[in-house]
Homo-oligomer: A and B are copies of this chain.
């Protein structure tokens, strides 16, 4: 068996931190020592230290909040998009504390992409609802909902920090019946970065969903920007669901 190649300094630091985490000494949500303190502890520079943290971050083991610190990651939320997107219920089922904070409501002009996604004519107006979702006290998800206003008159007067699914059903008699998802890695910009407490350009996981009613008409389009250590998507084909 060939001798394993020597670990880089960053790799050794990563391994040492992982040992502390896996050994239960650093708990989910617990803050790591500062970059400067860790650099001193490992007798290295902050550049090398950040390299090690960056790998742990890519692995989903730690996360950062811009200018606040590095923290040990929580377990990923299991998100089965084909089985509904009721955030509170998903969290409850997985013993997680969920919170939703409404950031804003406004009408916007639909971008060409949104016009195509929602099948509305150019220059259409849409409701834009911005919400920040947390799990166990830390921000995990930022969502921008784009709603067709003719389907949801007077929505700005409702309590939009609660479930939109339930609001649609109770107030408008509208039920989600189908959805299409696009899933891809992306980078946090502007308000997204801000809402997720990330630096501009930080990697995230984007889930875009276009929802329809039973008649097949579009209802809304949601852009879900997930911290990528926060979620694990599970998708099953129909027959698989029957087999389980």
Please report A residues at the B interface, Cβ cutoff 8 Å: 11, 14, 47, 54-55, 58-60, 76, 81-82, 177-187, 200-203, 205, 212, 214, 216, 228-229, 231-240, 242-244
Contacts and interface: CB of A to CB of B under 8 A. Distances in A.
Nearest to A240: B178
A59 B187 contact: yes
A215 to B, nearest CB: 9
Oligomer: number of copies:
2
Contacts of A177: 239
* Among all A-B residue pairs, the 10 with the closest Cβ atoms: A55-B201, A178-B239, A178-B240, A216-B243, A185-B228, A58-B187, A183-B233, A59-B187, A58-B203, A181-B235
B11 A200 contact: yes
Contacts of A229: 185
Contacts of A82: 235, 237
B201 A243 contact: no
Contacts of A242: 178, 216
Nearest to A14: B201
A54 to B, nearest CB: 7
A186 to B, nearest CB: 7
B236 A185 contact: no
Given A11-B200, A179-B240, A181-B233, 8 more contacts: A59-B186, A82-B235, A180-B234, A180-B235, A180-B236, A180-B237, A181-B234, A183-B183
DSSP class of A's interface residues: helix, strand, loop or mixed? Answer: mixed
A182 B233 contact: yes
A200 B76 contact: no
A232 B179 contact: no
Contacts of A180: 234-237, 240, 244
Contacts of A187: 55, 58-60
B228 A181 contact: no
A18 B242 CA distance: 47
A236 B178 contact: yes
B240 A201 contact: no
A214 B237 CA distance: 12
14 contacts: A11-B200, A14-B201, A55-B201, A58-B185, A60-B186, A178-B236, A178-B237, A178-B239, A180-B234, A180-B235, A180-B244, A184-B232, A185-B229, A212-B240
